[in-house]
Amino acid sequence: MPERTPDTPDSSDNAERTDGYAPLRSYAAIGDGRTVALVGRDGRIDWLPVPSMDSPAPFASILDAEHGGHIALKPTGPAHMERRYLPGTNVLCTTWTTADGEATVTDAMATGVAGRLPWAQLGRCVQGVRGAVEFEWAVQPGTLLGQARPERLDTVNGSIVAVDGVSIAIVELGFEPVHEDGPRFSGRFRTSEGSKSILSVIGTLDEPLFIPDPHETMRGVDRTIHNWETWSKEFAYDGPWADAVHRSALALKLLIFAPTGSIAAAATTSLPEDDRGDKNWDYRFAWVRDLAYSVRALTRFGLREETHAAVSWLMRTIADNGDGMPIFYRLSGARSDGVVERDVPGWRGIGPVTEGNRAADQLQLGVWGDVFDIMRQYVAQGNVLDRQTAHVLERLADEACHKWVEEDSGMWELQEAHHYTTSKIGCWQALDAAIELHDKGQIGGPRDKWVENRELIEQWVAEHGWNEELGHYVMHPDTDALDASILLHASSSFDRGPRMSATIDAIREQLSVGPLVYRYSGLEDEESPFVACSFWLASALACVGRDGEARALMDDMVAQGNDVGLFAEMISADTGEFMGNLPQGLSHLALINAAITIEEMAREG
């Protein structure tokens, strides 16, 4: 592949909006364990579903600039902006400096005394630092992606906005005067040295609307900061790239759906992977694969509650849904119920905008390996499996023995079924873990059968997955194509020898552009490189003993994050711009696990 180097990652951070749409690099994420808001560098919130990540989004101008809805807050004139997350938190602090003064805006999705609130509550606290800064603000709910018109309702306890079943209230302190224009609320105010003002937006879905006292909303932001700091104190990692790992763990925490313990793949839907719009997916679901990688990271960090909640949710959900192995579930644990296309333009006019995901009924054999890897890690931490979980795992191990010989859609949810090499290795990984769990007395079942099939898979991969003439693993036996997901199986210990090292070289030569890596052969004209693949490559390099190369690639990739350390799904090889949904859990998980793997391999020599 020709050598191209993406532009400096920060090149689009300060870019102006195009037709109302901000660069995806410009977004920081805040959340409360149930929903996530995206804040642009110009202070505008363009995405906020209410009350959950997969709920309707009354603020969705990231997908519909004109009618999607937003929450704006910025100085009225020219201003210099700097922003950062407060240490150990998912609370964003932006400093605005003008010719007349300086002020800060602290953005948080508020949490309560005992964790998340029963409703969604955004707090935007403005503090004067010196001089005076004039701010303008607006709260303008949208159409729920074209489904309903927002209506202003005047009640004895104040005016609210209703959009179908979503109810929105605005509570302010120091933001007066407030100008009301139907369902839109806006105004201007000036800060002074030491002043403190707050705008709070509260939302519910199909339930009564709680109206908090404005002074309590001020205290709520401080409490939220404290809650995040308390959580971070339980976080233990002092290895290389610690700042990036800590931020990635906090980003992952945003995607953990506290009501059930499931983990969303990303916080958004339909942000395009390319400028043609044929790859716009809804990632507000819990992928089994992503949850598996999450558990490894969480257990390494000593985060017990999230680990147990995720493991318990997964095994209970698999048991409740009976036979088969879906690749993802709704955050509630229900099966996906199809795809609906919304009649809105999409980010920068690149549609379609969808809710739901078409891959729900695919067979992906690699999921068997993901589930068993979760449980192997859980037991390795000193935990014990219950009888129902043991029975489910015994059934799944038997299924892997029968299923591995079938064609499937592979890890990349492809429409054309093949005997994908990494799918077979996923079944190998499942049986390898099942045998280990059997030997540890955690599950029963036909151990000899599992050993036999594990060996058969090894033979199949050696004969059909490895191409002797090309000198690398191939995507499937009927092609010469490379598949970057093979890199995962250096970490899984399937192969850490010369064949994996040779495949790494082929991937670097044929799928890489600088530090960025495409998912498989032939995609350079269809989509952008996939962030997680680069971190998988760094992990694989460490696993085959190429530590220096692993560390150099890791340094390059960590620098590809945006100004607050977040990653989307993909990064353009031409411009360095983010593409795809964000924040993307798999990108941050791959960063975390690469850092862990490089550290472990160095320690083990």
- Structure tokens belonging to residue 564: 């607050």
Residue among 403, 330, 334 nearest 366 (CA): 403
CA-CA distance, 537 to 2, in Å (whole number)?
Answer: 19
Instruction: Give percent of the chain with pLDDT exceeding 70.
Output: 97
- Structure tokens belonging to residue 182: 């139907």
Q: What's residue 200's pLDDT?
A: 96
Task: Please give the DSSP secondary-structure letter assigned to residue 443.
Answer: -
Phi/psi at 95 (5° precision):
-105, 125
Label residue 234 by pLDDT band (50, 70, 90).
Answer: confident
For residue 93, give Cα distances in angstroms to 45, 97, 125, 188, 201.
14, 13, 9, 20, 18
Tell me the average pLDDT across 479-484. 98
- Structure tokens belonging to residue 5: 């180097």
CA-CA distance, 423 to 406, in Å (whole number)?
Answer: 10
Q: Is 472 helix (H, G, I), strand (E, B) or coil?
A: strand
Q: Is 355 helix (H, G, I), strand (E, B) or coil?
A: strand
For residue 499, give Cα distances in angstroms to 192, 465, 503.
66, 11, 6
CA angle 197, 202, 207 (to 5 degrees): 160
| Structure confidence by residue, pLDDT tens digits, 286-298 | 988 888 888 777 8
CA-CA distance, 109 to 124, in Å (whole number)?
Answer: 9
Q: What's residue 221's pLDDT?
A: 95
| Structure confidence by residue, pLDDT tens digits, 137-191 | 999 999 999 999 999 999 999 899 999 999 999 999 998 778 888 899 999 999 9
- Structure tokens belonging to residue 212: 């908090």
CA-CA distance, 23 to 51, in Å (whole number)?
Answer: 25
- Structure tokens belonging to residue 576: 């360095």
Which residues contact residue 185 at a Cβ distance below 8 angstroms, ignoring those fewer than 6 apart?
Answer: 138, 139, 140, 159, 170, 178, 179
Which residue intervals of 461-545 are DSSP H helices?
488-491, 498-510, 531-543
User: Of 2-6, 68-72, 278-282, where does the model show the most confidence?
Assistant: 68-72
- Structure tokens belonging to residue 294: 């999450």
Label residue 323 by pLDDT band (50, 70, 90).
Answer: low
Beta carbons within 10 angstroms of residue 181's beta carbon:
10
| Structure confidence by residue, pLDDT tens digits, 381-439 | 889 999 999 999 999 999 999 999 999 999 998 989 999 999 999 999 999 999 999 99
Instruction: Give percent of the chain with pLDDT exceeding 90.
Output: 79
Q: Is the pLDDT of residue 13 over 70?
A: no
pTM of the model: 0.94
CA-CA distance, 109 to 103, in Å (whole number)?
Answer: 20
Residue among 286, 319, 486 nearest 386 (CA): 319
Lowest-confidence pick of 445-454, 461-470, 521-530: 521-530
Beta carbons within 10 angstroms of residue 78's beta carbon:
7
CA-CA distance, 2 to 380, in Å (whole number)?
Answer: 44
Q: What's residue 168's pLDDT?
A: 97
Q: What's residue 277's pLDDT?
A: 80
Judge contact between 29 and 268, C-beta under 8 A. Answer: no
Which residues contact residue 360 at a Cβ distance below 8 angstroms, ignoring those fewer than 6 apart?
Answer: 326, 327, 328, 335, 336, 338
Q: Is 218 helix (H, G, I), strand (E, B) or coil?
A: helix
Q: What's residue 512's pLDDT?
A: 97
